[in-house]
Structure 1
Amino acid sequence: MIKSLAVPPKFKLKLAALALASLGLAGCGGTLSGAGPYKGDIETKNESYNLVEINANTIGPYMRGAVRPVQASIAKPVAPSARLMAGDILNVLITDNAPEGSALFAPLSSGGTQLKTRIDDQGMISLPYVGRQFVAGMTLNQVEEMIRKQLKGVTTDVQTHVELVGDLSGSVLVAGAVKSPGRFSTLQGPLTLLDAVNQAGGPVMEPHLVNVTVRTGSQVQQFNYEDVLAGNNMVLRPNSEVVLDRARQRFVAMGAVGEPGLKDLPAQNTSLLDALGSVGGLREANANPEGVFVFRMGEGTNPKPTVLRLDMRDPAAVFYARQIMIKPDDTIYVTNAAIYEWQKVISPVVQTMLLGRATGAYK
């Protein structure tokens, strides 16, 4: 506690002038340092936004929706008909049951003739007695039929079997915010969206902060990864691309809170109470619990911004804060208490007096 100081008369006028000047600066608003507008300014200067006092009668439009139930359905992988493309590697088995000595290829009893070929950049393969043939876009069954037709008349009893052993056409690319991005084969069976992400090591962020984009060449689909985990899984078409990136699920905390700044929403369905808790709550030393505001830009047919005000002195406000939904790009602003603002005005005056006494200015 500061003791009263004996100030000589000749300095009283100067100190009074200094005090009045400090109070005048405070009255100007904006001269004293602060994180934002004063509570009274927000409540009166509302021509450009709608100010909503949150209570039992007004909270309805701003409440969180019900949590979506987890789906019981599962994705059932069904092997699609892979269409070949440049870069695929084929294992071709040709058997020839012509009389011994006239067969061009080994008979089935000895394992047949095994040939391996890669589809070149022009979509072509090259095989003995078959020549160069365009196969890009074909299925494996169509390639088998093409080989049999090309060998008809060359040998009498030919059988073929074509197997895809190195695939680009049947693979899935996973990129973005995963631990091990890469291209993953579907040779062992079809991949669901969860299969592909898990093979890539999983996302590097919490599920609700991850958006998933699936491109198939003909359509684009987007999901939140938390929704995928809740049952919105799907079977991926061959040659699909899966990209995971950060969802814009952020809000700004300003003013008298524990940890102001740009923050990630702690959950997909975040309440005001959750958001305040994630930034350390109200700073008890200087926060004004009657001045908790949420600034929200206009949406849809209502382009006018909205400011929600909550009086945390009201015990019911804790329940209101639990129900109010915080949306991405919202700003939470907690004003300073009036006594704290007054202390910012008085502090320079007191410091000046203490400094003058310490240096002997009042002797």
Structure 2
Amino acid sequence: MRKIGLVGLMTATLAGCGGTLSGAGPYKGDIETKNSTYKLVEINATTIAPFMRGTVKAPLARITNPAPQAVRLMGGDVLNILITDNVAEGVGLFAPLSTGGTQFKVRIDDQGMISLPYVGHQFVAGMTLVQVENMLRQRLKGVTTDVQAHVDLVGDLSGSVLVAGAVKAPGRFSTLQGPLTLLDAINQAGGPVLEPHLVNVTVRNGSQVTTLNYEDVLNGNNAVLRPNSEIVLDRARQRFVAMGAVGEPGLHDLPQQNTSLLDALGAVGGLNERNANPQGVFVFRMDDTQADTKPTVMRIDMRDPAAIFYAKQIMIRPDDTIYVTNAAVYEWQKIIGPIVQTMVLGRAVGVNYK
């Protein structure tokens, strides 16, 4: 009776192994033979060329010259207006220049209007500072003698830029001290919260939208911002998946902009020496450029000393999957282990019956 029970226990244990022996994915042999839906490439000196790093662009030597641009006024801007009368003090409507003139600080309302004595309500949204000065002189002509007007922008909603997203201190930043470049604005916002290659920068200026990787901006693609631009920093999709017998399986950020297979393996703790099959290192890649193109599976034999150099040259793309299969001996241990445990348990049960 004990033998029947022991056999039944062993049978049940082995039956349960069927769902656990697959590990994190398919076996090495299955990947190498069942390739009707993908293209399997054995990486060696003759096949590696299409997967190697392209020409790396050298940083640009140019320096962005922040030349001033015309500011068009809008609602919310604050103006400092100086009006002078070229007459003796106390005679004219406005103070003479020798005494500092008459100053007004006005905010453009939500309708784009300002209001001044002897000028009334005037629409100034969309005008430049020079155009506002000319308008004031024209409106005051005949009201006073030899009037002069000077307008300064002291609160520049129209000339400011907005920085939002993955920065340390998002906000709106003034251009009163001079034009801002893209790097100026990002630096004033505290810089990005992620590594440069993991950040995309989108610039909107009302007429066009441009998206750059922040590392490319640092390499010389800086630009002067138009007034009232919006800059949004967000996470670039620069991730890969590591599966199987690696130190840290899971979803990971690419450690740098041009990440090699060797870099990626290092970022996930390398191959697990206890159970990895170094001859079964695979890279699964979808090709989204053409709808009818099969996915590609690359296999590299890390037992080959030259494979270290191959792995350093193969570039990992975003959304690639690195999969390291288990060694055959480890798969065998997964079969033998439950059997041995069952036999030991059966022996212990037999001893107890005696």
| Fold agreement, TM-score > 0.5 | yes
Corresponding residue for 1:83? 72
Q: Is 1:321 equivalent to 2:303 in the alignment? A: no
CA contact (8 A) 2:6 2:346 kept: no
Corresponding residue for 1:3? none
The AA in structure 1 aligned to 2:323 is: Y
Q: Is 1:36 equivalent to 2:3 in the alignment? A: no
1:349 aligned to 331, 339, 347, which one? 339
Secondary structure (helix, strand or coil) at the match of 1:92 reads strand
1:252-283 CA-to-partner distances (Å, cap 9, x unmatched) read 00000000000000000000000000000000
Cα separation, 2, equivalents of 1:39 and 1:125:
76
**Unaligned segments of structure 2, at least 5 residues:** none
CA drift of 1:31 comes to: 5.2
The AA in structure 2 aligned to 1:110 is: T
Correspondences of 1:64-103 after superposition (within 5 Å): 64-99=53-88, 101-103=90-92
Distance 1:106-1:36 versus aligned 2 partners, 3 A rule: same
1:225-253 CA-to-partner distances (Å, cap 9, x unmatched) read 00111111000000000000000000000
Cα separation, 2, equivalents of 1:18 and 1:76:
79
CA drift of 1:33 comes to: 4.6
CA contact (8 A) 1:19 1:349 kept: no
1:274-317 CA-to-partner distances (Å, cap 9, x unmatched) read 00000000000000000000000123135311100001011111
Distance 1:165-1:13 versus aligned 2 partners, 3 A rule: closer
CA contact (8 A) 2:77 2:158 kept: yes
Corresponding residue for 1:286? 275
CA drift of 1:11 comes to: 4.3
CA drift of 1:18 comes to: 4.0
Secondary structure (helix, strand or coil) at the match of 1:212 reads strand
Correspondences of 1:210-221 after superposition (within 5 Å): 210-221=199-210
CA drift of 1:99 comes to: 4.8
CA contact (8 A) 2:86 2:147 kept: yes
Cα separation, 2, equivalents of 1:116 and 1:31:
77
The AA in structure 2 aligned to 1:312 is: M
CA contact (8 A) 1:25 1:32 kept: no
CA contact (8 A) 2:10 2:342 kept: no
Corresponding residue for 2:218? 229
The AA in structure 2 aligned to 1:339 is: V
Q: TM-score, normalised by structure 2?
A: 0.95
1:138 aligned to 112, 116, 127, which one? 127
Corresponding residue for 1:185? 174
1:103-143 CA-to-partner distances (Å, cap 9, x unmatched) read 11000000000001000000000011010000000000000
CA contact (8 A) 2:9 2:342 kept: no
Q: Is 1:295 equivalent to 2:284 in the alignment? A: yes
CA drift of 1:32 comes to: 2.2
The AA in structure 1 aligned to 2:319 is: D
Cα separation, 2, equivalents of 1:252 and 1:101:
80
Q: TM-score, normalised by structure 1?
A: 0.92
CA drift of 1:64 comes to: 1.0
Cα separation, 1, equivalents of 2:255 and 2:134:
57
2:188 aligned to 166, 176, 199, which one? 199
Cα separation, 2, equivalents of 1:186 and 1:45:
62
Aligned length: 351
Cα separation, 1, equivalents of 2:23 and 2:343:
24
CA contact (8 A) 1:174 1:200 kept: yes
The AA in structure 2 aligned to 1:82 is: V
Cα separation, 2, equivalents of 1:110 and 1:17:
106
Q: Is 1:119 equivalent to 2:108 in the alignment? A: yes
**Unaligned segments of structure 1, at least 5 residues:** 1-9
Corresponding residue for 2:229? 240
1:254 aligned to 237, 243, 262, which one? 243
Q: Is 1:340 equivalent to 2:330 in the alignment? A: yes
1:22-73 CA-to-partner distances (Å, cap 9, x unmatched) read 3x887x7x55251000001101111111011101111010001132101100
Cα separation, 2, equivalents of 1:48 and 1:32:
24
The AA in structure 2 aligned to 1:262 is: L
Secondary structure (helix, strand or coil) at the match of 2:186 reads helix
The AA in structure 2 aligned to 1:336 is: N
CA RMSD between the two structures: 2.0
